[in-house]
Amino acid sequence: MEKVWAVSYSATGNTDKTVSTIAEELAAKLSLPLERASFTKPAEREKEYYFTENDLVVIGTPTYAGKMPNKLLPDFRSRFHGNGALAVAVVTFGNRNYDNSLAELCAVLEGDGFHTVAAGAFVGRHAFTDELAYGRPGWSDQFEMKEFARKISVKVKTLTAIPEPVKVPGDPNAPYYVPMGADGQPAKFLKAKPKTYLARCTNCGACARLCPMGAIDPKNVSNVPGTCIKCQRCVRKCTKGAKYFDDEAFLSHVKMLEQSFAEPKDNEVFL
């Protein structure tokens, strides 16, 4: 190994924090340089990333509806070229379940020419609400991430051949999780888009610059002509609290999540 990479799509920051913590510890344990690459903004996903058999790549994505974000899946499949690099697959989830996202990410990486040497699913504050996993990943989560990295470093140091793909639960070909409302019925909010409190908004354009889909009109940020994936980046990053969602089906789903998944979930790792 010659270099450790930290690569992530991270709308609200939890995945980046998780991937960075693991990659930083790996670089320290293996005495290797660390390089970072964000895959969040549209321009960043236009680049091609070529790795080599001398790289160890920690790559992460949040879980959306139990799988990888479907609008970003083509980019994950086409922009990364493993060329025999070792990979650590990482997903984050908002205290409900990571379902099939980790299995899907592992399958995508193996298909991109990586050799998955380890994988992990880590809890982070839910993008939709502070009521689920607030403050996570926290200190204890970071301790687990660093211990995970230590075990990976030991495994990497003792490898004498190309490792078998890491085994993780889930089915990469399974359908997406169907969001449910508080009434127990499917909640359909695919067309929901963020609204703007005009009295609070200064039209600074930060939400438009930060939107992973480039969906917000930079000349009039109350206009959202593009595809919204409900990542909440605009809501979470607006310093004026001017962005919000008022779609009834979406809010009903959030209420269901808060009622049903408040019990703290554990992180899970696989080597």
Looking at residue 68, which CATH number applies to its domain?
Answer: 3.40.50.360
Check the CA dihedral 196-202-205-211 and report its sign: negative
Does one domain contain both 47 and 143? yes
Instruction: Specify if 45 maps to a domain.
Output: yes
Does one domain contain both 203 and 163? no
Does one domain contain both 141 and 23? yes
Does one domain contain both 77 and 121? yes
Buried b / exposed e over 43-57, threshold 16 CB at 10 Å, is eebeeebebeeebbb
Instruction: Specify if 267 maps to a domain.
Output: no
CA distances to 127, 230, 257 from 17, rounded to whole Å, are 14, 20, 23
Does one domain contain both 110 and 26? yes
Share of the chain above pLDDT 90, in %: 100
The residue with tokens 């321009």 is 43
pTM: 0.96
Does one domain contain both 170 and 199? no
> Average of pLDDT values for 100-112?
98
pLDDT for res 56 = 98
* Kind of pairing between the strands at 115-123 and 55-62: unpaired
pLDDT for res 125 = 97
Angle made by CA atoms 231, 235, 237, in degrees to the nearest 5: 100
Last residue of a domain, one of 175, 210, 241: 175
Contacts (Cβ under 8 Å, ≥6 apart) of 32 = 1, 2, 3, 4, 26, 56
Instruction: Specify if 7 maps to a domain.
Output: yes
Instruction: Specify if 187 maps to a domain.
Output: no
Instruction: Specify if 154 maps to a domain.
Output: yes
pLDDT for res 156 = 96
Last residue of a domain, one of 175, 205, 234: 175
Q: Say how many CA atoms lie within 13 Å of 31 toward its Cβ.
A: 1
Q: What is the pLDDT of residues 130-184, one digit of tens each?
A: 999 999 999 999 999 999 999 999 999 999 999 999 999 999 999 999 999 999 9
> Average of pLDDT values for 203-209?
95
Which band of pLDDT confidence, cut at 50, 70 and 90, is reported for residue 12?
very high
Domain count for the chain:
2
Does one domain contain both 169 and 220? no
Last residue of a domain, one of 144, 175, 206: 175
Helices 139-157/14-30 angle, 10° precision: 40
The residue with tokens 């992530």 is 8
> Average of pLDDT values for 251-263?
97
Give the Cα separation of 118 and 120 in Å (integer): 7
Which band of pLDDT confidence, cut at 50, 70 and 90, is reported for residue 268?
very high
Does one domain contain both 219 and 110? no
Does one domain contain both 115 and 224? no
- What CATH number did the domain enclosing 223 receive? 3.30.70
- CB-based contact 62:11 (threshold 8 Å): yes
User: What is the domain extent for residue 227?
Assistant: 195-259
DSSP type of residue 45: G
Does one domain contain both 230 and 163? no
Does one domain contain both 142 and 228? no
Does one domain contain both 135 and 238? no
